[in-house]
């Protein structure tokens, strides 16, 4: 109980400090030399939009930095108050099949976590609604949340069942075998994501605007991309935000545009966005993401195994855990993986920002229309209420893309930079 009080007190102090930093202490002032440029939000946002973008972004950032340690506290709560032992007991007497034991245990743990985090998630939803970013009904939002829950439960059950079977077979090398099995599983998930999982949330269909579609396919042909179609998705039923992306691998690779993007951007701006997504394909970013995922999973499982064994050895008895192969130790493993994922996220984001910068460069060289590129990001920032120059800690932990300030300044200065480079070569 004493430790629980200390943890809660520490969490409360952390929350207050993070709130103060984000809303009062963080410096996100625009550099003096960029005032009046295309990167200056005052040049394309109204005073009210500037105020809303700052408030909305800081609230969402604060919710993220609260939700992560809250997840850790939940795992510790489940362990410290004996809930994990109770989950194990409740699931073990149902049947002789271990996969059912695992499924029921994961269901109980997932449901407990879902209930405890629901208030924060619901508040995040209401914030998006109040700032007119989300237009999704509560019923639709709950449907998506439940789809998330059951997909996560199914995948987690399979992975946990395999991991604990391996642990019981070989306590020392289970992590290596788990990593080897994770490679085909990761590839499989990359392959089915666009055609099986994504359609569970939204309707995808070929781009309706045939003229724009021909222009996009012309760029694809110029880039030697064997694209036969471009997809749009009806996100306007849920949000006013803009987005486009490329996901999947092999024959299941898809280039996707949200219909909100089509509604808000001009054709030239859309072509820049599409050229950016094609840049990811041309530079093999999806495959590099896959490779990095495999490498990080190796390091994560290796380090996670060492921490897991030490924590079970030190705290297992007080938590009522019988050993590393005890299913009741799952919260320990999930806590360790969550901590490692959070710790490595700044590095992952830095690599991702470099890839996005390269894709921007590819797109601007392909379309040769800096004005459309700048206009696209200005519209994206305005509609999505994106903070143009977020605090450093937010950029490190949350931004897999360059900040709007960085992107707009880069694209606005592109012609000047190219002219300077040409003169140097001469």
Q: Given the DSSP bridges, would you call strands 254-258 and 231-233 parallel, antiparallel or unpaired?
A: parallel
- Our answer to whether residue 277 is catalytic in this structure is yes
For residue 73 the two structure tokens come to 């506290």
3-class state of residue 114 by DSSP: helix
Using alpha carbons, select from 165, 277, 283 the residue that is nearest to residue 232: 277
3-state SS track over 291-342: HHHHHHHHHHHHHHHHHHHHHHHHHHHHHCCCCCCCHHHHHHHHHHHHHHHH
Residue 239: predicted pLDDT: 93
Residue 249: predicted pLDDT: 72
Considering the domain boundaries, does residue 275 fall inside one?
no
Considering the domain boundaries, does residue 26 fall inside one?
yes
Q: What is the spatial distance between Cα 229 and Cα 255, in angstroms, rounded to a whole number?
A: 8
Using alpha carbons, select from 252, 333, 351 the residue that is nearest to residue 293: 351
| Catalytic member of 277, 356, 387, 406 | 277
For residues 62-78, give the mean pLDDT: 95
- Please give the mean pLDDT across all residues of the chain: 91
Q: Any idea what the Cα angle at residue 417 is, between residues 411 and 423, rounded to 5°?
A: 155
CB 276 within 8 A of CB 363: yes
Using alpha carbons, select from 218, 231, 229 the residue that is nearest to residue 275: 218
pLDDT at residue 255 tops 90: no
Residue 420: predicted pLDDT: 59
Q: What is the spatial distance between Cα 371 and Cα 359, in angstroms, rounded to a whole number?
A: 17
Confidence band for 189, pLDDT divided at 50, 70 and 90: confident
Residue 14: predicted pLDDT: 94
Q: Which range of residues forms the domain containing residue 167?
A: 2-202+284-425
* pLDDT tens sequence across 234-254: 999 999 999 888 777 766 778
* pLDDT tens sequence across 293-349: 999 999 999 999 999 999 999 999 999 999 999 999 999 999 999 999 999 999 999
- The total number of structural domains in the chain stands at 1
pLDDT at residue 362 tops 60: yes
Residue 363: predicted pLDDT: 94
Total length of the chain = 426
Using alpha carbons, select from 52, 10, 27 the residue that is nearest to residue 393: 27
Q: What is the spatial distance between Cα 80 and Cα 78, in angstroms, rounded to a whole number?
A: 6
Residue 70: predicted pLDDT: 95
Question: Worst-scoring range by mean pLDDT, 126-130, 199-203, 329-333, 369-373?
Answer: 199-203
Cross-sheet strand order for the sheet of 231-233: 204-206, 231-233, 254-258, 244-247
Report which DSSP code applies to 38.
T
* pLDDT tens sequence across 104-160: 999 999 999 999 999 999 999 999 999 999 999 999 999 999 999 999 999 999 999
Considering the domain boundaries, does residue 302 fall inside one?
yes
For residues 151-172, give the mean pLDDT: 94
CB 109 within 8 A of CB 75: no
For residues 363-377, give the mean pLDDT: 93
Which CA distances in Å does 56 have to 15, 63, 91?
18, 11, 43
Sign of CA dihedral 96, 97, 100, 101: positive
Residue 417: predicted pLDDT: 65
For residues 346-362, give the mean pLDDT: 95
Task: Provide CB contacts within 8 A for 114, sequence distance 6+.
Answer: 149
pLDDT at residue 188 tops 90: no
pLDDT at residue 414 tops 90: no
* pLDDT tens sequence across 274-289: 999 889 988 989 889 8
For 61-90, letters b (16+ CB in 10 Å) and e give bbbebeeebbbbbbbbbbbbeebbbebbee
Considering the domain boundaries, does residue 408 fall inside one?
yes
Sign of CA dihedral 348, 350, 353, 354: negative
Quick count: other Cβ atoms within 10 Å of Cβ 275?
25
Considering the domain boundaries, does residue 352 fall inside one?
yes
Report which DSSP code applies to 134.
B
Quick count: other Cβ atoms within 10 Å of Cβ 37?
16
Considering the domain boundaries, does residue 176 fall inside one?
yes
Considering the domain boundaries, does residue 255 fall inside one?
no
Confidence band for 190, pLDDT divided at 50, 70 and 90: confident
pTM of the predicted structure, to 2 decimals? 0.90
Task: Provide CB contacts within 8 A for 119, sequence distance 6+.
Answer: none
Residue 191: predicted pLDDT: 83
Q: What is the spatial distance between Cα 26 and Cα 23, in angstroms, rounded to a whole number?
A: 7
Confidence band for 419, pLDDT divided at 50, 70 and 90: low
Considering the domain boundaries, does residue 366 fall inside one?
yes
Q: What percent of the chain has pLDDT over 90?
A: 74
CB 279 within 8 A of CB 365: no
For residue 195 the two structure tokens come to 């055609």
- Which residues lie across from 231 on neighbouring strands? 206, 256
Q: What is the spatial distance between Cα 188 and Cα 175, in angstroms, rounded to a whole number?
A: 20
Using alpha carbons, select from 314, 307, 305, 317 the residue that is nearest to residue 82: 317
Residue 421: predicted pLDDT: 55
Report which DSSP code applies to 46.
-
């Amino acid at each position: 109980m004493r430790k629980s009080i200390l943890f809660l007190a520490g969490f409360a102090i952390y929350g207050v400090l993070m709130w103060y930093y984000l809303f009062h202490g963080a410096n996100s002032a625009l550099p003096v030399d960029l005032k009046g440029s295309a990167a200056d939000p005052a040049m394309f946002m109204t005073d009210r939009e500037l105020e809303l973008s700052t408030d909305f972004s800081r609230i969402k950032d604060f919710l993220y930095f609260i939700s992560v340690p809250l997840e850790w506290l939940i795992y510790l709560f489940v362990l410290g108050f004996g809930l994990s032992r109770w989950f194990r007991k409740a699931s073990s007497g149902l049947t002789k099949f271990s996969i059912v034991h695992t499924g029921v245990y994961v269901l109980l743990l997932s449901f407990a976590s879902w209930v405890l985090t629901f208030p924060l998630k619901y508040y995040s939803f209401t914030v998006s609604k109040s700032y007119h970013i989300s237009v999704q009904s509560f019923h639709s939002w709950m449907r998506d949340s439940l789809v998330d829950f059951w997909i996560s439960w199914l995948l987690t059950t399979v992975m946990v069942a395999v991991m604990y079977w391996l642990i019981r077979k070989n306590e020392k090398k289970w992590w290596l075998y788990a990593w080897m099995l994770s490679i085909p599983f990761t590839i499989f998930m990359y392959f089915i994501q666009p055609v099986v999982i994504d359609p569970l949330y939204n309707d995808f269909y070929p781009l309706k605007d045939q003229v724009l579609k021909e222009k996009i396919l012309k760029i694809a042909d110029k880039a030697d991309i064997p694209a036969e179609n471009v997809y749009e998705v009806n996100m306007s039923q849920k949000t006013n935000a803009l987005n486009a992306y490329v996901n999947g691998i092999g024959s299941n690779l898809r280039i996707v545009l949200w219909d909100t993007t089509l509604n808000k951007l001009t054709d030239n701006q859309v072509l820049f966005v599409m050229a950016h997504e094609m840049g990811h394909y041309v530079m093999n970013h999806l495959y590099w993401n896959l490779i990095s995922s495999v490498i990080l999973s190796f390091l994560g499982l290796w380090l996670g195994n060492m921490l897991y064994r030490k924590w079970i050895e030190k705290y297992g008895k007080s938590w009522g855990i019988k050993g590393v192969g005890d299913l009741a130790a799952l919260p320990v493993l999930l806590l360790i993986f969550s901590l490692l994922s959070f710790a490595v996220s700044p590095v992952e984001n830095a690599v991702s920002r470099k890839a996005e910068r390269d894709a921007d460069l590819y797109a601007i060289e392909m379309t040769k229309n800096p004005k459309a590129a700048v206009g696209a990001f200005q519209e994206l920032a305005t509609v999505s209420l994106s903070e143009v120059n977020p605090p450093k800690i937010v950029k490190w932990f949350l931004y897999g893309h360059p900040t709007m300030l960085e992107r707009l300044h880069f694209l606005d200065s592109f012609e000047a930079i190219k002219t300077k480079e040409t003169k140097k070569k001469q």
